[in-house]
Structure formats: C-alpha cells, structure tokens
Amino acid sequence: MIKPHGSDKLNPLYVQDAAKRAALVKEAEGLPSIVVSSAAAANAVMMGGGYFNPLTGYMNVADSISVAENMKTTSGLFWPVPIVNVVKDASPIKGAKRIALKDPNVAGNPVIAIQDVQAIEEFTDAQMKMMTDKIFRTDDPKHPGVSAFNSVGKTVISGPIQVLNYSYFDKEFPETFRTAYEIRDMMAKLGWEKIVAFQTRNPMHLAHEELCRMAKKDLKADGILIHMLLGKLKEGDIPADVRDACIRKMVELYFEPNTVLITGYGFDMLYAGPREALLHAVFRQNTGCTHLIVGRDHAGVGDYYGPFDAQTIFDEIPKGALLLDIYRADHTAWSKKLNKVIMMNSVTDHTKDDFVMLSGTKVREMLGAGQRPPREFSRPEVADILINYYRSKK
C-alpha cells in the first residue's frame, strides 16, 4: 500500500472516541446551527472517513479559487476541486465562531459535524463562473454538476470540522459503506500491497468485469477494490442498493475468493469528467490503492468531455502530485472474432460489427421488457436483478 495524499499518516476527521463524540453531540445542542447542502454533507462524510486527507475542513474563497485555477491550495497542496460549505443565507450563524452543521439528507436534520468558523465570505458572480468553467469545462445549466454547483448559494463558510456521523450511508449500506481507514485495514489483513481500484456509479456488465481482470493481470496486482458511489446521482441512474446487489452477485459467482473487496463511499456525483477523475485518484490513494482504472468517459456525462480527457489530465499535473498511477483503459467489448472481451484499441482487424455493443437506451429497453441482454454483454444473474428493478418501477 502507498502513503496517503499529503501526509505520512491518514487523519480522518470522524471523532472516534465515543465519550468525546457524545460530549460534542451535547455541545451541538447549544450551538448556532445551519442546514448545509447535500454536497457539503457529503464533503463532511468524505473528510470524516479520511478520503479527503489531509484536509482539516472546508476551504475558504482564496483556496477555492486557487484550486479551481491551478489545482492546488494557497499552501501548495495538490487538490483538483474545491471542498466547500456553501449556503444561500448565513444569517442564522452570523457572528458565531463555532457552529453545528445539520444534515439535509436525514429526517430531523441531525448534526453531522461541528465547525470552527474561520471566515464567512461571498463568491462573486465572476468567481462562480470561473470555477464552474474550470471544474466542469462548461457553464451549461443542463449539465447536472453545473446545475448542482450553482444552486446551493455563494456564501462560503470555511474552517476545520469534527465529524460526528456518516449521515445515512453506514445505516443504509452497512455491508458496503467503508471509510478509507477501514479499507486500509481490510487490505492489510489480506496482505495486499499492489491494489487496483475500479470506480463505478453503475451496475457492472461483463466488459467491466473483464476490465478489472485485465488490470489485475497486467499490473500483477494482489487484489481489486470495487468502489461504488453511494450518494446522489442524476435522474435515471440506477439506485445504489440495486447496483450493490448486482456487483455482489457478479463477484460471488465469477471472481476467485479474496481477490475483490466490494465497498462504497458517501459522496454525491459531480459528473466533472477529468477533474473528478483526479479527485477519484486522490481518495483512492488515501485508501491505500496503488492504481485506479480510468477508462473512456470516466466520471463524464453527455458529450461535455472527450472520451479520453480523464486520462490525459493525468499527464498535465505536476510530477509527484500523486503517488497513485492510473491504468489506462479503452472501451471494452465482446469480440465475435476472438470469442472474448477485449479492449477495442488492442485490435486493428475489427470493425464495429465485430463487437457485441448495446447502447444504454437499448439495454434499459430490454431489461424493462423482461429480456436479458446477450450473455456476451451481461451476466444473466446480474440481468435478472436489473429486470426485477425495472419491473418494480412499473
């Protein structure tokens, strides 16, 4: 395993001592409080679990601008996207030096963290536009990440935090949600040193499964971390519990025991393409992974990014900015000529007709009609879980 990003040791912000945590929960009852955005709550979960090491809290305007423009904080730490607590109205906490942050995603809005307020500032319209353009490479309001980023407000509350819980993630996904430090412990117990991570927000089809095998074999890795996003997605994406069931069934039936860890993390998808790929690399390094699979359209949406922009951005960052390396993957699909899944760029004698390829729309239509996609595209047991999901929506 490799060192965390920016420090020799992982420094999760979750208060692990039960007595201290109980005292902070009690203290929070008497503090000025504010309900934060879903994105800010997810940022707290990620800092709590050590995923955003070595950050100690939410960024101020200067750090946010520096990160958006130059991918580093004012102190020089490499970081690809601003990690902020932004609200529309900070009047409930005006003048407060210590505040309780309430979770928008849990009934009753319990306190998710306590924050020491270092500054309350405002992003200007020009700064919001610059950050939007840099992070998402577009200011199109139809882009789900752009829409979310620009809808939460412009008032920035910066300062260190103490995290009191993991929102709904550990309760709704007790078998899957794991912190960065828990993943490090799991991999250490398995004796893994070289580990390749696979990021997913979708169920895994046969091509994804084989891509994980290819990466493990090519890198001579000890194991694979299948690491799924458990937070908010755009409308139409498969819910996390369904994805979880699909991936668990696939691993149970088709992978050798003790070669795969199935875990998830509590974060809302940004759909920021290249910049989000870098963020994925940062927090996979914090889990101890040595490599991250980055394929076509990684963390993208629509046609906002080129198919390999999320790979080439790793060539643009300073040498040594990350200890983790990426495994560069092309589109993978079943070759009718070779009778197996291959990377499409690995052959020169194939046309599109030589591959089994289905659009997402076609796959959804088939599953919705109760039809399994071809075995060359999807494992039948996985398809059945998805068929049941689409049936339940009718």
Catalytic center residues: 201-202
- Exposure string of 366-386, with b = 16+ CB inside 10 Å and e = fewer, is bbeeeebbeebbbbeebbbbb
* Number of neighbours of residue 393 by Cβ within 10 angstroms: 6
Q: Look-up: residue for tokens 């307020």?
A: 117
Report phi then psi at 192, rounded to 5.
-80, 135
The token duo for 141 is 């309001």
Of 71, 74, 75, whose CA–CA distance to 131 is shortest?
71
Contacts 24+ apart (CB under 8 A), 385-389: 385/203, 385/242, 385/245, 385/246, 385/249, 386/203, 386/238, 386/242, 386/246, 389/238, 389/239, 389/242
Rounded to whole angstroms, the Cα distance separating 57 from 11 reads 12
Q: How far apart are CA 323 and CA 77, in angstroms?
A: 13
Rounded to whole angstroms, how far apart are CA atoms 83 and 263? 23
Nearest to 298 by CA among 284, 312, 316: 312
